[in-house]
Amino acid sequence: MNNYGKDMNNNKNTASSEAKSPWQQLTLAEFVEQRNGVPLGHANSLRNMLSRSLGAGSFAEFWRHWNPIWGYGLGKYVYAPLRRILPSFIALIMTFVVSGALHDLAAMAIRRSVMFFVTPWFFLLGLGVVLGQLMRLDLSQRSWWLRATVNITYLVLCLSITLLAKQLFAPS
Protein backbone atom coordinates (compact mmCIF):
# COMPACT_ATOMS: atom_id res chain seq x y z
CA MET A 1 0.00 0.00 0.00
CA ASN A 2 1.85 3.21 0.70
CA ASN A 3 4.00 4.29 3.63
CA TYR A 4 1.39 3.00 5.99
CA GLY A 5 2.19 -0.24 7.71
CA LYS A 6 5.91 0.32 7.14
CA ASP A 7 6.99 -0.09 10.76
CA MET A 8 5.85 -3.52 11.88
CA ASN A 9 7.66 -3.25 15.22
CA ASN A 10 5.65 -0.26 16.40
CA ASN A 11 2.40 -1.90 17.44
CA LYS A 12 1.59 0.45 20.31
CA ASN A 13 -0.92 3.21 19.85
CA THR A 14 1.06 6.05 21.38
CA ALA A 15 0.43 9.77 21.12
CA SER A 16 3.36 10.07 18.68
CA SER A 17 1.83 7.42 16.41
CA GLU A 18 -1.34 9.52 16.19
CA ALA A 19 0.56 12.42 14.66
CA LYS A 20 0.11 12.62 10.92
CA SER A 21 2.66 10.75 8.84
CA PRO A 22 4.48 12.76 6.17
CA TRP A 23 2.38 11.15 3.40
CA GLN A 24 -0.82 12.25 5.16
CA GLN A 25 0.24 15.87 4.87
CA LEU A 26 0.51 15.70 1.07
CA THR A 27 -2.24 16.63 -1.35
CA LEU A 28 -3.35 13.92 -3.76
CA ALA A 29 -1.41 15.56 -6.59
CA GLU A 30 1.78 15.74 -4.46
CA PHE A 31 1.30 12.15 -3.34
CA VAL A 32 0.91 10.84 -6.91
CA GLU A 33 3.93 12.80 -8.10
CA GLN A 34 6.00 11.43 -5.21
CA ARG A 35 4.95 7.86 -6.04
CA ASN A 36 5.18 8.04 -9.85
CA GLY A 37 7.90 10.65 -10.27
CA VAL A 38 5.62 12.58 -12.65
CA PRO A 39 2.61 14.85 -12.06
CA LEU A 40 -0.95 13.53 -11.86
CA GLY A 41 -2.25 12.83 -15.39
CA HIS A 42 1.22 12.79 -17.00
CA ALA A 43 1.61 10.57 -20.07
CA ASN A 44 4.28 8.45 -18.30
CA SER A 45 2.25 7.93 -15.14
CA LEU A 46 1.10 4.37 -15.94
CA ARG A 47 4.52 3.33 -17.25
CA ASN A 48 6.24 4.66 -14.11
CA MET A 49 3.69 3.02 -11.79
CA LEU A 50 4.15 -0.37 -13.44
CA SER A 51 7.95 -0.10 -13.54
CA ARG A 52 8.23 1.02 -9.93
CA SER A 53 5.69 -1.47 -8.61
CA LEU A 54 6.99 -4.50 -10.44
CA GLY A 55 10.59 -3.52 -9.72
CA ALA A 56 9.95 -2.98 -6.01
CA GLY A 57 12.37 -4.61 -3.58
CA SER A 58 9.57 -5.77 -1.25
CA PHE A 59 5.86 -6.47 -1.32
CA ALA A 60 5.24 -3.39 0.85
CA GLU A 61 7.14 -1.26 -1.64
CA PHE A 62 5.13 -2.80 -4.49
CA TRP A 63 1.94 -1.48 -2.92
CA ARG A 64 3.48 1.93 -2.17
CA HIS A 65 3.74 2.43 -5.93
CA TRP A 66 0.66 0.57 -7.18
CA ASN A 67 -2.32 2.78 -8.04
CA PRO A 68 -1.33 5.82 -5.96
CA ILE A 69 -4.74 7.50 -6.29
CA TRP A 70 -6.48 4.49 -4.72
CA GLY A 71 -3.66 4.11 -2.19
CA TYR A 72 -4.01 7.73 -1.11
CA GLY A 73 -7.71 7.27 -0.38
CA LEU A 74 -7.16 3.95 1.43
CA GLY A 75 -4.39 5.45 3.52
CA LYS A 76 -6.36 8.53 4.47
CA TYR A 77 -9.81 7.03 5.00
CA VAL A 78 -9.14 3.42 6.00
CA TYR A 79 -5.59 2.76 7.25
CA ALA A 80 -5.07 5.95 9.28
CA PRO A 81 -8.33 5.61 11.26
CA LEU A 82 -7.74 1.87 11.82
CA ARG A 83 -4.16 2.54 12.90
CA ARG A 84 -5.43 4.73 15.73
CA ILE A 85 -7.16 1.72 17.32
CA LEU A 86 -5.28 -1.34 15.99
CA PRO A 87 -1.69 -2.52 15.73
CA SER A 88 -0.16 -1.55 12.38
CA PHE A 89 -0.05 -5.08 10.94
CA ILE A 90 -3.76 -5.65 11.64
CA ALA A 91 -4.67 -2.20 10.29
CA LEU A 92 -2.67 -2.98 7.15
CA ILE A 93 -4.40 -6.33 6.55
CA MET A 94 -7.79 -4.78 7.26
CA THR A 95 -7.03 -2.05 4.72
CA PHE A 96 -6.42 -4.73 2.10
CA VAL A 97 -9.69 -6.43 3.12
CA VAL A 98 -11.65 -3.17 2.79
CA SER A 99 -10.05 -2.54 -0.60
CA GLY A 100 -10.99 -6.06 -1.71
CA ALA A 101 -14.56 -5.61 -0.48
CA LEU A 102 -14.87 -2.36 -2.44
CA HIS A 103 -13.58 -4.13 -5.56
CA ASP A 104 -16.11 -6.94 -4.97
CA LEU A 105 -18.93 -4.40 -4.57
CA ALA A 106 -17.98 -2.74 -7.84
CA ALA A 107 -17.91 -6.13 -9.59
CA MET A 108 -21.30 -7.05 -8.08
CA ALA A 109 -22.80 -3.80 -9.33
CA ILE A 110 -21.54 -4.51 -12.84
CA ARG A 111 -22.39 -8.23 -12.87
CA ARG A 112 -25.63 -7.79 -10.93
CA SER A 113 -24.85 -10.91 -8.93
CA VAL A 114 -23.20 -11.67 -5.61
CA MET A 115 -19.44 -11.96 -5.77
CA PHE A 116 -16.99 -12.59 -2.97
CA PHE A 117 -13.65 -13.23 -4.63
CA VAL A 118 -11.42 -10.16 -4.47
CA THR A 119 -11.77 -9.73 -0.70
CA PRO A 120 -10.09 -13.04 0.22
CA TRP A 121 -7.48 -12.50 -2.51
CA PHE A 122 -6.63 -9.08 -1.08
CA PHE A 123 -6.53 -10.56 2.43
CA LEU A 124 -3.79 -12.90 1.21
CA LEU A 125 -1.99 -10.01 -0.50
CA GLY A 126 -2.05 -8.05 2.77
CA LEU A 127 -0.82 -11.10 4.66
CA GLY A 128 2.02 -11.35 2.13
CA VAL A 129 3.04 -7.76 2.88
CA VAL A 130 3.10 -8.45 6.62
CA LEU A 131 5.04 -11.71 6.20
CA GLY A 132 7.49 -10.01 3.83
CA GLN A 133 8.11 -7.33 6.44
CA LEU A 134 8.52 -9.86 9.23
CA MET A 135 11.01 -11.81 7.09
CA ARG A 136 12.74 -8.51 6.21
CA LEU A 137 12.42 -9.27 2.51
CA ASP A 138 14.63 -6.84 0.62
CA LEU A 139 15.39 -7.50 -3.02
CA SER A 140 16.37 -3.90 -3.75
CA GLN A 141 19.95 -4.89 -4.63
CA ARG A 142 18.76 -7.54 -7.11
CA SER A 143 18.08 -7.01 -10.79
CA TRP A 144 14.80 -5.40 -11.88
CA TRP A 145 13.84 -8.62 -13.70
CA LEU A 146 14.29 -10.76 -10.57
CA ARG A 147 12.30 -8.28 -8.46
CA ALA A 148 9.52 -8.20 -11.09
CA THR A 149 9.47 -12.00 -11.22
CA VAL A 150 9.18 -12.27 -7.43
CA ASN A 151 6.42 -9.62 -7.29
CA ILE A 152 4.42 -11.21 -10.10
CA THR A 153 4.85 -14.62 -8.45
CA TYR A 154 3.52 -13.18 -5.17
CA LEU A 155 0.42 -11.80 -6.96
CA VAL A 156 -0.20 -15.01 -8.91
CA LEU A 157 0.41 -17.25 -5.89
CA CYS A 158 -2.14 -15.33 -3.79
CA LEU A 159 -4.59 -15.42 -6.72
CA SER A 160 -4.03 -19.18 -7.18
CA ILE A 161 -4.64 -19.89 -3.49
CA THR A 162 -7.86 -17.87 -3.69
CA LEU A 163 -9.01 -19.76 -6.79
CA LEU A 164 -8.19 -23.09 -5.14
CA ALA A 165 -10.05 -22.13 -1.96
CA LYS A 166 -13.03 -21.02 -4.05
CA GLN A 167 -13.15 -24.44 -5.75
CA LEU A 168 -12.71 -26.34 -2.48
CA PHE A 169 -15.24 -24.38 -0.45
CA ALA A 170 -17.75 -23.21 -3.06
CA PRO A 171 -21.21 -24.71 -2.64
CA SER A 172 -21.88 -27.48 -5.16
- Alpha-carbon distance of 95 to 74, in angstroms, equals 7
Each residue's pLDDT tens digit, 90-129: 999 999 999 999 999 999 898 888 878 999 999 999 999 9
Rounded average pLDDT over 61-73: 93
User: Which pLDDT value is given to residue 8?
Assistant: 42
User: Which pLDDT value is given to residue 163?
Assistant: 95
The percent of residues in the chain predicted with pLDDT above 70, rounded, is 86
Query: How much is the mean pLDDT over the chain?
Result: 87
User: Which pLDDT value is given to residue 133?
Assistant: 96
Which pLDDT band holds residue 49 (cuts at 50, 70, 90)?
very high
What single DSSP character describes residue 88? H
